[in-house]
Amino acid sequence: MKKVDLLYEGKAKKVYTTEDPDILIVDYKDDATAMDGLKRGTIVGKGAINNRMTNHIFKLLEKEGIPTHYVEELSDRETAVKKVEIVPLEVIIRNITAGSFAKKMGVEEGIVFKRPTLEFSYKNDDLHDPFINKYYALSLELATEEEIDTITEYAFKVNEVMKKYFDSLGIDLVDFKIEFGRHKGQIILADEVSPDTCRLWDKETHEKLDKDRFRRDMGNVEDAYNEVFRRLGIEDRK
Ligand code: C5P
């Protein structure tokens, strides 16, 4: 499968069309941004880690009954995916307080919830992805009620599967952001699951193994990404 035209270049990925109108190729970059694009940098090797980790997790989720856009890994950084119409909602699930939740709600980081919580942001760069709820999303006609209910059900299921899996790797899944798309009338999981989009803390030491090391200038960013990748046990490509 070959790239034809550059369709879109985002902060961390480039997306290309292919000869098949139903298939796109995602090419992951090492570029990193934070603070709404104000902070920019490079995390060496991130593109390959995020690509291969996303594919590994998406295959696991597919086995557990969650449909995803994954088609085929083409190289360390490139993957063929089903073309979707992205639902403009960032879906965030939290198991432990951290980040914007801790700040907004005036609580410390690290408090384990008795049950996970979910929030939506409206994917809109001009508005800086504001916090919205299901009723705003319905009023703005971002998705139908049935789609939002499916997204909610899938998001909690993704959390159940990933929480258990990361736990087996000695990692606490603190929180994460996922995105969904419409494909042939169905809601499927799209975008990525990586240390860019998840908060991952070592269970023993509580060391942060995710993008917060970049966001907060904590150092050892590449080491953290490599450590997560190592624990996933993904074999080298032939
Ligand atoms: O910053 P906040 O606490 O709201 O982030 C919650 C989770 O969503 C974190 O795991 C973060 O990495 C992820 N996130 C993301 N992209 C955004 C905002 C948050 O991947 N634009």
Q: Check if 123 has its Cβ closer than 6 Å to any atom of ligand 1.
A: no
What pLDDT, on the 0 to 100 scale, is given for residue 114? Answer: 98
Residues 85-220, CATH architecture:
2-Layer Sandwich (3.30)
Q: Chain-centre distance of CA 110, in angstroms?
A: 21
Q: What is the DSSP string of 82-132?
A: E--EE-SEEEEEEEE--HHHHHHHT--TTPEEEEEEEEEEE--GGGT--EE
Q: Check if 100 has its Cβ closer than 6 Å to any atom of ligand 1.
A: yes
The complex's ipTM works out to 0.97
Tokens 């991130």 found at: 46
Spatial CA neighbour of 153 closest among 175, 122, 136, 178:
178
Q: Check if 213 has its Cβ closer than 6 Å to any atom of ligand 1.
A: no
Spatial CA neighbour of 85 closest among 14, 161, 184:
184
- CA-closest residue to ligand 1 atom 16: 197
What is the position in ligand 1's atom list of the atom closest to the CA of 103? 3
What pLDDT, on the 0 to 100 scale, is given for residue 116? Answer: 98
Model's pTM, two decimal places? Answer: 0.98
pLDDT digits (tens, 9 = 90+) for 158-205: 999 999 999 999 999 999 999 999 999 999 999 999 999 999 999 999
What is the position in ligand 1's atom list of the atom closest to the CA of 100? 3
What pLDDT, on the 0 to 100 scale, is given for residue 236? Answer: 87
Tell me how far apart the 2 most distant CA atoms of the chain are, in Å.
51
Domain layout of the chain by residue ranges: 6-82, 85-220
Is 58 within 8 Å of 68 (Cβ atoms)?
yes
**In angstroms, rounded to a whole number, what is the distance separating the alpha carbons of residues 79 and 35?**
27
> Over the chain, what is the mean pLDDT?
97
What pLDDT, on the 0 to 100 scale, is given for residue 1? Answer: 87
Instruction: Give the type of residue at 206.
Output: H
Q: Check if 13 has its Cβ closer than 6 Å to any atom of ligand 1.
A: no
Whether 6-82 shares its CATH topology with 85-220 is answered no
Q: Check if 177 has its Cβ closer than 6 Å to any atom of ligand 1.
A: yes
Fold of 6-82: Phosphorylase Kinase; domain 1 (3.30.200)
What is the position in ligand 1's atom list of the atom closest to the CA of 175? 10
Q: Is pLDDT above 80 for 238?
A: no
